[in-house]
Amino acid sequence: MSESVPSTRTVRLGRVKPQAPGHRTIFCNDREANLPVRFKDCLNSPVSPITNVLPLSVVLLLSLIKEAFEDWKRFQNDMVINNNTIDVLQDEKWVSIPWKKLQVGDIVKGCSLRNTEYIVGVVIFTGHETKLQLVPSVIVHGHCFIDTWNTLQVMMNAMNVPSKRSTLERKLDKLILILFATLFMMCFIGAVGRNLMEFFKCSIGGEIYGNGLTETEKGLAERNGVKLEENITTNAVRERGFNFNDARLMSGAWRNEPNPDSCKEFFRCLAICHTVLPEGDESPEKIRYQAASPDESALVIAAKNFGFFFYRRTPTTIYVRESHVEKMGKIQDVSYEILNVLEFNSTRKRQSVVCRYPDGRLVLYCKGADTVIFERLADDYNSIKKVTREHLEQFGCAGLRTLCLAYKDLHPDVYESWNEKFINAKSSLHDREKKLDEVAELIENDLILIGSTAIEDKLQEGVPACIETLQRAGIKIWVLTGDKIETAINIAYACNLINNEMKQFIISSETDAIREVEDRGDQVEIARFIKEEVKRELKKCLEEAQSYVSSISKPKLALVIDGKCLMYALDPSLRVMLLKFSLSCHAVVCCRVSPLQKAQVTSLVRKGAKKITLSIGDGANDVSMIQAAHVGVGISGLEGMQAVMASDFAIAQFRYLADLLLVHGRWSYFRICKIIQEMHRQEYDDTGREQLIEMGGILSPAEAKSHGVSQLPQEISKHTGFAFDSPGYESFFAAQLGIYAPQKAWDVARRASMKPRLKIGQKK
C-alpha cells in the first residue's frame, strides 16, 4: 500500500471501518462486497459469530424443551381423557364404560354444558381415517377446540376469539415471550387500569337519589376555585361496579319513599331487562356476572344491592330473590318467564324484554338512550318527562353516563298478535335484522317512564397528560362518543381537550325550537327543519371562525355537535362546510353518535381533507371507525377484544398512545428513512463509479482526493467519537495514495491521547 498510484489511473477511496487509529482496515469499493456491509451497518446487527450462534442455540434449545413438555402434557391429558367414563345406552340401560371403548353407533351422554344437566349424542364417524387424525398436528385456536384419539371425537366450547395469525407466528410469539420475559412482565403489569363503571346516581319518579361527587365535579370545582364537601355516610355499601351513597334506597328504606311503586318497577327493570349470565355460588357475596359491557353488569349489581338479587338464569326464566317487597324483612324467590328479548344494537339504542309474572301479568321493560325512550313515551306523563330531562342534564354535567328506564303492561291478546309477527321476522332468511327492528317498533310505544340511571365511567390514568402531549406534537384530536352532550363536554374538560380559554361552538338538537317541531310528530317537517337549522348554524360558525382567524388574539376553537345534527351535517350539500369549519378547530367533540357515524366522520377527514388519520377505541362499536382510518389502535380492556382484533396495533391503556406515536413511531420513521437512504446511496455509488470510469484520468490528484473524501459516510464513529471525514482520516487516505495532506494540530493531539488506551495485546 506504500507505492504511489499512477496519475492515469482513477481510484475511488474506500470506506473505513471505525477502529482505533493505527489499526484501520480499508474496504474495497466493490459493489457486491460492500452491499452486505452497508445494510449490516444500517441495521446495527452484530458481526461476531458468537453473537449470531448463541441466540440461535438458545432459541432451538428452548423450542426443544417446550415441544417435549407439550408432548408430555398432551400424552397425560390423552390418557386421562381416554380412561374417563361415559354413559352408553346398551340394552335400554345406561352403562359406564371408558371413552376409548366407544364404537360407531353408540349413544353417549355427557359434556360441558350450561342450563341443562345432560344431552344425548351419537358417535357417527371416528378412528384413524378421520381428517383430524390424519393431520400431523392439532391446531387449537378460534371458537372451538377439537381433538381426536383413536375412537373418540370431542368438541368443547372455548372463549378464545378467532386468530388472524398463522401457526408459525404464534409459535414465534411464544419464543419471543420466553426470551424477553422481563418485557412481558412489564406489559402485563401495565395492563391493569382504572377502566371501571360504577352505579353512582339515579332518578326515580322525578326524585334524584345519590349524594356522591364524581371526579369530573371535583375537577370542575378545583378549576373554578370552589371547595366542595362530599356527604358520605359511614355505612355506605361499596363494591366493584356499585358506588352509591343514599340511605333512602338501601335496606328496604325505599318502601318509605313517596313513590314506592316506581322504585319497585325501577329495581325489577334492572334485575330483568338484560342479557347477563350469573356464575359461581348463588349468594350475593360470591356470585359473578358475565355481561356484554361493564355498564350492564353495574346495573345488575345495583339491583342486587337494592334488594333484587338476580341469581339464576335459564333460556326461558330469570330468578330474582326479592327483599322487602311484601313487607320489611321478608325475602322471596320469584321466577319471571322471559318471552321475548329485543336486543340492543347501535341503530335501536335500546333493549327490551317481554316477561310474564308468576300471577300472569305481561310486562315490557325497556332501557336505552334518553333520545329514543322519550320519543316512545305515552302523552300522559309529560310532567315526569320534563323533570327527568332536567335530572339527565345534571347527570351529564357531572360526567355520568345515563340510561332511561320505562315499562308497559301488555294485554294477552295484543301480545299474542304481536308475537306471531315477531316469530315470523325471527325465522326470516332475508333482511332478518331489519324485520326484527320493524316488529319491535310495533310494541315499543306508549311507554311509562320509570326513571334514569347514572353511571360513572372513570378515566384511565394519564389520559389528560397524554392528550396534552399529543396536542403539543401538532396532532388534532377528535372525540367521537355515544354519551350525552353534557357528559361529553365535561369529559373533554377532564381530559384537557377543552378549556375555558377556547371559543366553543355547540350545535345541538336539544333546543326549544326543535323540540317544538318534534312534538308535532310530522317526520318530514322535523327532517326539513333540523337540516335548515344545522345549515344555518354551520354557516354562522364558519363566518365567526374566519373572523377569529383574522383577529389579533386568535383564540383556539372547539366544536361540539350531537349525533342528530351530525346526521344532517354529513349530507353531501353540507359536508364541505362541516369539514372546512372542523379543520379550523383545535378540538372536535361528536356526541350521541352511532358506529356508522364514527366511520363516516373518519372517512370525511381521510378522503375530504387528505389527512393521515388514526382511530383508537376499546369496544365493538369502535370497530368501523378503526377500520376506516389509516391506522387503527385497539385498547384491550373490559369492553372486549373486538377493537383489538380489528386494529393494526393493540395497547393496554390510552396513555401508551403517546409512546406508540412519539417514541416507537419516530424510531420506525428513522429506520425506514435510513434504509431508503442506503438504497439511494447504492444507486448513487454505482452511477458515480460509471462516471469515473468514463472520465478515465481526466481528474487531477487533488480532484480525485476531494471526490473520494466526499463519498465517505458522514457518520460519527462509535469508537473514537470523530467523523469519518475528519482531517486525521483524510490525511491517512491521502498518504496511501502518495498525496501529501498535512495533519491538523488538534488531530495530532487526539492521536497522542488515544495511544495510552490501546490494549496490551495490540501493542505487542
**Residue 755: is its pLDDT beyond 50?**
no
* Residue linked to cell 362541516: 578
- For the ranges 287-291, 581-585, 627-631, 717-721, the lowest mean pLDDT is seen at 717-721
254-265: per-residue pLDDT in tens? Answer: 988 988 999 999
Taking the C-alpha atoms of residue 705 and residue 737, their distance in angstroms, rounded to an integer, is: 9
Res 756: pLDDT: 45
What distance in Å separates the CA atoms of residue 721 and residue 729, rounded to the nearest whole number? Answer: 13
- Check if the beta carbon of residue 200 is closer than 8 Å to that of residue 400: yes
Per-residue confidence band for 160, with pLDDT thresholds at 50, 70 and 90: very low
Report the chain's mean pLDDT, rounded to a whole number. 75
**Which is more confident, 755 or 491?**
491
Q: Round to whole Å and give the CA distance between 619 and 463.
A: 17
Query: Tell me, what's the pLDDT at 704?
Result: 65
Residues in a beta bridge with 62: none
Beta strands per DSSP E along 489-600: 503-507, 557-562, 587-591
Question: What's the rounded mean pLDDT across residues 188-192?
Answer: 35
Helix 49-83, helix 167-179: angle, nearest 10: 110
> pLDDT tier at 5 (50, 70, 90 boundaries)?
very low
What is the value of pTM for the model shown?
0.59
For the segment 384-392, the average pLDDT, to the nearest whole number, is: 90
Q: Is the pLDDT of residue 612 over 60?
A: yes
Which range, of 142-151, 234-243, 384-393, 487-496, averages the lowest pLDDT? 142-151
pLDDT value for 555: 84
What confidence score (pLDDT) does residue 220 get? Answer: 72
When pLDDT is averaged across residues 204-223 and rounded to a whole number, the result is: 82
What is the per-residue DSSP string for 137-167?
Answer: S---BTTEEEEEETTEEEEEE--PPPP-S-H
528 is in an annotated binding site: no
Residue 354 has pLDDT above 90, yes or no: yes
* Long-range interactions of 612-616: CB distance < 8 A, separation 24+: 614/661, 616/654, 616/657
Q: Where do runs of H (alpha helix) occur along 233-275?
A: 260-272
Q: What is the pLDDT of residue 136?
A: 41
Q: How many residues are listed for the chain in this entry?
A: 764
Rounded distance, CA 564 to CA 500, Å? Answer: 26
What pLDDT band is residue 472 in, cutting at 50, 70 and 90?
Answer: confident
Query: Of 5, 23, 6, 8, which is closest to residue 717 (Cα–Cα)?
Result: 23
pLDDT, average across residues 147-158: 29
Instruction: Output the nine-digit C-alpha cell for 498.
Output: 377543552
pLDDT of res. 600? 92
Was 483 annotated as part of a binding site? yes
For residue 169, what are the contacts with CB-CB under 8 A and spacing of at least 6? none
Does 350 count as an annotated binding residue?
no
Give the cell for residue 194: 382504572
Provide the sign of the torsion angle of the four alpha carbons 410, 413, 415, 418, taken in this order: negative
482 annotated ligand binder: yes
pLDDT band at 112 (very low <50, low <70, confident <90, very high): low
- 268 appears as a binding residue in the annotation: no
Q: Which three cell numbers stand for residue 670?
A: 428513522
CA distance 442 to 280: 38
- CA angle (117, 118, 123) in 5-degree steps: 170
* CA distance between the termini of the chain: 22
Is 618 labelled as part of a ligand binding site?
yes
HSE-CB for 91 with a 13 A CA cutoff: 2
Residue 535 is predicted with a pLDDT of 92
Q: Do the domains at 260-456 and 463-656 have one common CATH topology?
A: no
Gap between the Cα atoms of 267 and 272, Å rounded: 9
- One-letter amino acid of 475: I
Q: How far apart are CA 364 and CA 179, in angstroms?
A: 57
> Binning pLDDT at 50, 70 and 90, where does residue 679 land?
confident
Mean pLDDT for 203-214 is 89
Whether the pLDDT of residue 485 is over 80: the answer is: yes
More reliable by pLDDT, 545 or 19: 545
Average pLDDT over residues 591-605: 91
Work out the average pLDDT over 38-59.
Answer: 56
Q: What is the pLDDT of residue 148?
A: 30
Percent of the chain with pLDDT over 90: 26
Name the nearest CA neighbour of 617 among 638, 634, 636, 597: 634
- Which three three-digit cell numbers place residue 692? 469515473
pLDDT, average across residues 385-407:
89
- Tell me the domain boundaries of the chain: 21-82, 84-129+144-157, 260-456, 463-656
In this predicted structure, what is the pLDDT of residue 125?
60
**CA dihedral sign, ordered 590, 591, 596, 599:** positive
Separation between Cα atoms, residue 500 and residue 520, nearest integer Å: 37
Q: 344 among the known binding-site residues?
A: yes
Predicted pLDDT at 93: 79
pLDDT band at 604 (very low <50, low <70, confident <90, very high): very high
What pLDDT score was predicted for residue 39?
A: 40
Q: Which residue has the higher pLDDT, 353 or 637?
A: 353
622 a known binding residue? yes
- Rounded to whole angstroms, the Cα distance separating 241 from 667 reads 40
Given a cut of 60, is residue 711 above it in pLDDT? no
Q: Is residue 635 scored above 60 in pLDDT? A: yes
Confidence grade of residue 187 (pLDDT, cut at 50, 70, 90): very low
Q: What is the mean pLDDT of residues 405-424?
A: 94
φ/ψ of 477, rounded to 5, equals -115, 125
C-alpha cell at 70: 407439550
How do residues 315-342 score in pLDDT, each as one tens digit?
Answer: 899 999 998 887 777 889 999 999 999 9
* Residue 380 assigned ligand-binding role: no
Q: Rounded to an integer, what distance in angstroms lies between the CA atom of residue 79 and that of residue 756?
A: 69
Q: Is the pLDDT of residue 127 over 50?
A: yes
- What pLDDT, on a 0 to 100 scale, did the predictor assign at position 452? 94
Closest CA to 454 of 196, 217, 197, 200: 200
| Mean pLDDT calculated for residue range 374-382 | 85
pLDDT (0 to 100) of residue 217: 77
> Over 70: is that where the pLDDT of 681 sits?
yes
**Quick one: fold of 260-456?**
Calcium-transporting ATPase, cytoplasmic domain N (3.40.1110)
Q: Tell me which residue has cell 372546512.
A: 580
The mean pLDDT of 222-233, rounded to a whole number, is: 70
Largest CA distance in the chain: 114
Kindly state the average pLDDT of the residues 522-539.
Answer: 90
CATH 3.40.50.1000 fits domain 463-656 = yes
pLDDT higher than 70, residue 14: no
Judge whether residue 500 has pLDDT over 70: yes
Q: What is the mean pLDDT of residues 270-281?
A: 91
Confirm whether residue 481 is marked as ligand binding: yes
Q: Please give the DSSP secondary-structure letter assigned to residue 662.
A: I
**Rounded Cα distance, 626 and 639, in Å:** 15
